[in-house]
Amino acid sequence: MHKHHRALGLATAPIGTAVVSGAAEIAKLKPVQPVTLLRPHAAQRAARFFTEKFPGRSLYAVKANPSPDLLEVLWDAGVTHYDVASIGEVRLVAGTLPGATLCFMHPVKAEEAIAEAYFQHGVRTFSLDTLEELEKIVAATSTNGVAASDLNLLVRLRVSSEHAKLSLASKFGAAPDELKSLLMATRQAADALGLCFHVGSQAMSPAAYAEAMSRVRDAIVEAAVTVDIVDVGGGFPSAYPGMEPPALETYFAVIHEAFEKLPISYSAELWCEPGRALCAEYASVLVRVEKRRGDELYINDGAYGTLFDAAHIGWRFPVELVREPESDVRDMGFSFYGPTCDDLDHMVGPFELPGDVQAGDYIEIGMLGAYGSAMRTGFNGFGSATATSVIVTDEPMASLYGAPSREANRSNVVQL
């Protein structure tokens, strides 16, 4: 992995060259494959923001980006707890960060996965949303018929996703009429009892958390149980074109106020599970335009690579033409086609770029640290088999963490 000051250094430099002699020479050796641009400093900044400002404990949701390099960046920045959703993620984080605390937060797990997590990897925290899952956890963690006495069990309740861009309201979560009996039974099996929820991905209003916490309060009052942990889950947003959320401090303030009003133990803990918010700014991808057809650009990455969300859920990522000198042509809206032979490899956008973009140009597509690399495949012979990553030191294309603007930053860096 090599280090560059900004994307333009990559667009005009041969991959594998850390020091180059001049732009004219390098321009003849442009990268043929997409290049993932990594910004560890952006992930560090996001992690410090959560560890210092969220009024509780922050667990990184590993599914958003399971890169071992990123896990180590977050660990070094103070993130000690990790939300894992599969035995594969348990093994990955345990092997990468032996000192990390793992929380198995998928509400439906194989009994064998629970047993391995508990006995081999020291996992003590599990979520559930049914009595059947509770029985499974108790059975899998028992020794010679004796139930474990050190379990943190979090009951997931179903809440609305109306304030989020991506719903997570239908697959998991106990319904209101199930909660009382489930909480009472879980209290008997747990050393520490918790309630958790997920308001959906990219929640655009702090009201999502206020409304969910109201549901938590109702559940506690009805069941009359002592609750030790309240986990508000993920959903904390990042900035994208057309999606500029309020400051994250506003979310934290709403959550803290609601938590303080809950009828819970004075020593109860407040948790959250940011995924996108910790890693979206960590990475972008540099792609090459292979063909232009009107307002359609054929690029060398797409729906089966890092742009799954752009194709399948219409996500609009920030984009920037990487060219010197910069174009002075007015922007227009483009759609993208990826490199595979599949018509579904289409990203509608619109993605705003200078109207003179053409084959051979390079485009940086930003905010792909969340889910981009995690969803990449090798379909049709493109993608992960040829993926290249490099470290760059410029700022992400958008930030909720007080990063200086790109224009201000560019005047202070050396271009390779």
Amino acid code (one letter) for 127: S
DSSP of 167-192: --SSSS-B-HHHHHHHHHHHHHH-SE
The answer for residues whose C-beta is within 8 angstroms of residue 251's C-beta and 6 or more apart is 203, 206, 209, 236
- Axis-axis angle for helices 207-223, 248-260 (nearest 10): 20
DSSP string, 375-391: G---GGG-SGGG-EEEE
Q: What is the CATH number of domain 106-272?
A: 3.20.20.10
Smallest Cα–Cα separation from 360: which of 52, 78, 30, 37?
A: 30
* Domain limits, the chain: 3-39+280-410, 106-272
Residues recorded for the chain = 416
Q: Can you give the pLDDT of all 416 residues of the chain as single tens digits?
A: 555 555 554 444 444 433 222 122 222 237 888 888 899 999 999 999 999 999 999 999 999 999 999 999 999 999 999 999 999 999 999 999 999 999 999 999 999 999 999 999 999 999 999 999 999 999 999 999 999 999 999 999 988 777 767 766 667 889 888 999 999 999 999 999 999 999 988 888 999 999 999 999 999 999 999 999 999 999 999 999 988 899 999 999 999 999 999 999 889 999 999 999 999 999 999 899 999 999 999 999 888 888 998 888 888 999 999 988 889 999 999 999 988 888 888 999 899 999 999 999 999 999 999 988 888 887 887 876 556 888 888 889 999 998 776 655 443 332 32
CATH number of 3-39+280-410, picked from 1.10.620.20, 3.40.640.10, 1.20.1050.10, 2.40.37.10: 2.40.37.10
Same fold, 3-39+280-410 and 106-272: no
Query: Do the bridges between strand 192-196 and strand 152-156 make them parallel or antiparallel, or are there none, so unpaired?
Result: parallel
pTM of the model: 0.89
